[in-house]
Amino acid sequence: QEKHRILHKLLQNGNS
């Protein structure tokens, strides 16, 4: 998760 902060953030972001 540290190495993939952007991906992590996109997955957390609740815009589905």
Scan residues 1-16 and list those touching other proteins (CB under 8 A): 1, 3-8, 10-11, 15-16
DSSP 1-16: --TTHHHHHHHHS---
Q: How many residues bind other proteins (CB under 8 A)?
A: 11
Residue 6 structure tokens? 């952007």
Minimal distance in Å, beta carbon 2 to other proteins? Answer: 10
Minimal distance in Å, beta carbon 14 to other proteins? Answer: 9
Binding site for other proteins (CB under 8 A): 1, 3-8, 10-11, 15-16
